[in-house]
Chain A
């Protein structure tokens, strides 16, 4: 069986600074992988390189997504293929209504996949259902995307997008940052509803707290741009107790 995501010896730099140093990781459908690590380990870089953010130079290695060369695709092609990055800091876009954005994104992906576009009323109906599940006020959908949203609202909005777009692989970049415990629970519930045998997830986080709510199958420790240890859920608890100092020393 082809792995959902296969990263082989990935090396990447930004502004001449090497961030990823031979990262290897395989994620199969149905699995949730947590990637934990100290600040500066390359967690966000990994998520951005997977999503195709400009500015990063891939200096070595390969990434296959559903058997295809991910790094050769434009960001929008990656999304249409089923890759979704939930941003650590979702951007505010004045002048673009949230609903317009959602409809445009959904139909752009469907079009690229050769599927029929969804009518505006159908999109609205689906978005309303999902918004309700995530306790998102319908009024928010009319407002410009993320403009004036609280940290919690932005993360719920990311989760809504994820639920609407039904990706094959979700990459959650520090989804817990900026969330209080109530908001975290709402978001985690939303994410857990998306768990399925057809879908994989990479949950990137600094703290183990998030993993109490989104329980991973595999936990990796990322340090200095490489995965230095892999284990089960207990590894996250161990990290919580001992901290990352040991791994930073190892990498140095």
Chain B
């Protein structure tokens, strides 16, 4: 890219350079991977941490919000493992196949790797790095030149999981990637999910960690969905109240595929969750729904790019933000329709519900259309709870907070209605209820 070179200057950027210099020997991978790491870091160093003058980061000044670089997380010791034993409790008891990633490291001993279905392969990303296979390099170090978060991740990621579903394999049992942080450190974690042609899977991600602990997570999930693939992917961010979470989903979807993508953000001091979805084959249907429930001084930014590259695809985006206290929700959504993507049907809706005078919702929907026969639209609303509705509920004996909770649930409701897995949908609703109960 043609980013202008500029000197690294702030504390966090200097810290990251030191981290990279010092970590070189420790990071897994042979010379091929090491070279990719160096290229990725140079790419990051050239541009530095993102700031509001970069349009894609207009509302999230990472340079300001990320005051310093934390040391790289160590391999989880016995204490960390014991603290992480209940990781992903939101999806506990549902019989999902849980894969535990502690402080950025995949821990097979705590993961459910028994009775693997035919066609399902799971391995540690560290092993994939160690194989140092240049043929795999593109998959292990995705090219996303304009994303500082992905560049940093490509440079510093030590581990994660690689999940592969063979063509035509139908994996009914949901796979749960339970990410947990146990210590005030930085973890860079990279995962790869490959859904073969005609394969089907459900994948849920949970991200959590302790409160009052200023840890940092940079998580990249690359998802490659083959032709006729069907995947439901859910990401729940319930990080601790002082945590920084920078997440990126890089999705590439073939033809006639069905993708249902759901996000819920309730935790973290600063969250940036970016989803880039490239619809590369014809007649694919993508549903992207998300909700952010924020309070205190939380800042959560959901940034979305749906790139329609092929004809006859349909995408539906619905994102809701509920913002209390002095919190701030950001939604940036862009639908791009390439010249070849005729007959694209794309609709995006973003709505904010502000529960206090100091709460903020920044919304930036964009359509970028290069084809001439498409149906695309977007809408956005921001408002407060309706006092008349609240009074009606109260007049029937429902206390004020409970009346608000009902109206908030009604506002968020449709986001998770289409979740196919009952257990997943109920877990998402339970997380929402827990957040509402937390309001007192």
Partners in one complex: yes
A-side interface residues toward B, CB under 8 Å? Answer: 51-54, 74-76, 78-80, 85, 87, 90-91, 93-96, 100-101, 104-106, 108-109, 112, 144, 161, 165
CB distance from A98 to the nearest CB of B (A): 12
B370 at the A/B interface (Cβ < 8 Å)? no
A75 to B400, CA, bound (A): 9
Report whether B398 and A105 are in contact in the complex, using a CB–CB cutoff of 8 Å.
yes
* Other-chain residue from A85, A93, A144 in contact with B395 (beta carbon distance below 8 A): A85
* Other-chain residue from B392, B394, B411 in contact with A74 (beta carbon distance below 8 A): B394
| Residues on the B chain within 8 Å of A96, using CB | 406-407, 409-410
In the complex with contacts A91-B388, A96-B406, A161-B396 CB distance below 8 A: yes
Report whether A79 and B396 are in contact in the complex, using a CB–CB cutoff of 8 Å.
yes
B93 at the A/B interface (Cβ < 8 Å)? no
Report whether A108 and B410 are in contact in the complex, using a CB–CB cutoff of 8 Å.
no
B414 at the A/B interface (Cβ < 8 Å)? yes
B339 at the A/B interface (Cβ < 8 Å)? no
| Residues on the B chain within 8 Å of A91, using CB | 388-389, 392
Report whether A90 and B392 are in contact in the complex, using a CB–CB cutoff of 8 Å.
yes
Which residue on chain B has the smallest CB distance to residue A94?
Answer: B410
| Residues on the B chain within 8 Å of A54, using CB | 387, 391
A53 to B393, CA, bound (A): 11
Interface size class of B (residues with CB under 8 A): 20 to 34
| Residues on the B chain within 8 Å of A51, using CB | 391, 395
* Other-chain residue from A87, A106, A144 in contact with B392 (beta carbon distance below 8 A): A87
Report whether A108 and B413 are in contact in the complex, using a CB–CB cutoff of 8 Å.
no
| Residues on the A chain within 8 Å of B411, using CB | 95
| B393-419, CB < 8 A from A | 393-400, 402-403, 406-407, 409-411, 413-414
Report whether A79 and B406 are in contact in the complex, using a CB–CB cutoff of 8 Å.
no
| Residues on the A chain within 8 Å of B407, using CB | 93, 96
Which residue on chain A has the smallest CB distance to residue B394?
Answer: A75
| Residues on the B chain within 8 Å of A75, using CB | 391, 394-395
| Residues on the A chain within 8 Å of B389, using CB | 91, 93
A54 to B392, CA, bound (A): 11
* Apart from the given pairs A76-B397, A93-B393, 4 other A-B contacts in the complex at a CB distance below 8 Å: A75-B391, A80-B397, A91-B388, A95-B409
| Residues on the A chain within 8 Å of B409, using CB | 95-96
| Residues on the B chain within 8 Å of A80, using CB | 397
CB distance from A204 to the nearest CB of B (A): 15
CB distance from A195 to the nearest CB of B (A): 21
Central interface residue in B395, B398, B407, B411, by most chain A CB within 10 Å: B395
A100 to B396, CA, bound (A): 13
| Residues on the B chain within 8 Å of A53, using CB | 391, 395
Report whether A108 and B397 are in contact in the complex, using a CB–CB cutoff of 8 Å.
yes
Which residue on chain B has the smallest CB distance to residue A109?
Answer: B397
Report whether B413 and A76 are in contact in the complex, using a CB–CB cutoff of 8 Å.
no
* Other-chain residue from A79, A87, A94, A144 in contact with B397 (beta carbon distance below 8 A): A79
Which residue on chain A has the smallest CB distance to residue B411?
Answer: A95
* Other-chain residue from B388, B397, B410, B413 in contact with A105 (beta carbon distance below 8 A): B397
In the complex with contacts A96-B406, A104-B406, A165-B397 CB distance below 8 A: yes
**A and B contact pairs by CB, cutoff 8 A, 5 listed:** A75-B394, A76-B394, A91-B388, A93-B393, A96-B409
| Residues on the B chain within 8 Å of A74, using CB | 394, 399-400
In the complex with contacts A53-B391, A90-B392, A108-B402, A95-B397 CB distance below 8 A: no
Report whether A93 and B392 are in contact in the complex, using a CB–CB cutoff of 8 Å.
yes
| Residues on the B chain within 8 Å of A78, using CB | 395
CB distance from A190 to the nearest CB of B (A): 17
| Residues on the A chain within 8 Å of B387, using CB | 54
Report whether A95 and B392 are in contact in the complex, using a CB–CB cutoff of 8 Å.
no
A53 to B394, CA, bound (A): 9
Report whether B406 and A108 are in contact in the complex, using a CB–CB cutoff of 8 Å.
no
Which residue on chain A has the smallest CB distance to residue B392?
Answer: A91
| Residues on the A chain within 8 Å of B398, using CB | 76, 104-105, 108
A51 to B390, CA, bound (A): 13
Contact digits for B89-121, partner A, Cβ 8 Å, 1 yes 0 no: 000000000000000000000000000000000
Report whether B394 and A79 are in contact in the complex, using a CB–CB cutoff of 8 Å.
yes
6 closest Cβ pairs, A-B complex = A95-B410, A79-B397, A109-B397, A75-B394, A105-B396, A91-B392
Report whether B391 and A104 are in contact in the complex, using a CB–CB cutoff of 8 Å.
no
Which residue on chain A has the smallest CB distance to residue B417?
Answer: A95
A94 to B406, CA, bound (A): 11
CB distance from A78 to the nearest CB of B (A): 8
| B236-268, CB < 8 A from A | none
Central interface residue in A90, A93, A161, by most chain B CB within 10 Å: A93
CB distance from A166 to the nearest CB of B (A): 11
| Residues on the B chain within 8 Å of A95, using CB | 409-411, 413-414
Which residue on chain A has the smallest CB distance to residue B412?
Answer: A95
| Residues on the A chain within 8 Å of B414, using CB | 95
| Residues on the B chain within 8 Å of A94, using CB | 410
Report whether B391 and A108 are in contact in the complex, using a CB–CB cutoff of 8 Å.
no
A91 to B392, CA, bound (A): 7
A52 to B389, CA, bound (A): 14
| Residues on the B chain within 8 Å of A144, using CB | 410
In the complex with contacts A95-B411, A96-B406, A79-B395 CB distance below 8 A: yes
Contact digits for B356-391, partner A, Cβ 8 Å, 1 yes 0 no: 000000000000000000000000000000011101
CB distance from B403 to the nearest CB of A (A): 8
A105 to B394, CA, bound (A): 9
Central interface residue in B389, B396, B402, B414, by most chain A CB within 10 Å: B396
Which residue on chain A has the smallest CB distance to residue B387?
Answer: A54
In the complex with contacts A95-B409, A95-B414, A104-B406, A52-B395 CB distance below 8 A: yes
A91 to B390, CA, bound (A): 10
Which residue on chain A has the smallest CB distance to residue B399?
Answer: A76
| Residues on the A chain within 8 Å of B393, using CB | 93, 101, 105
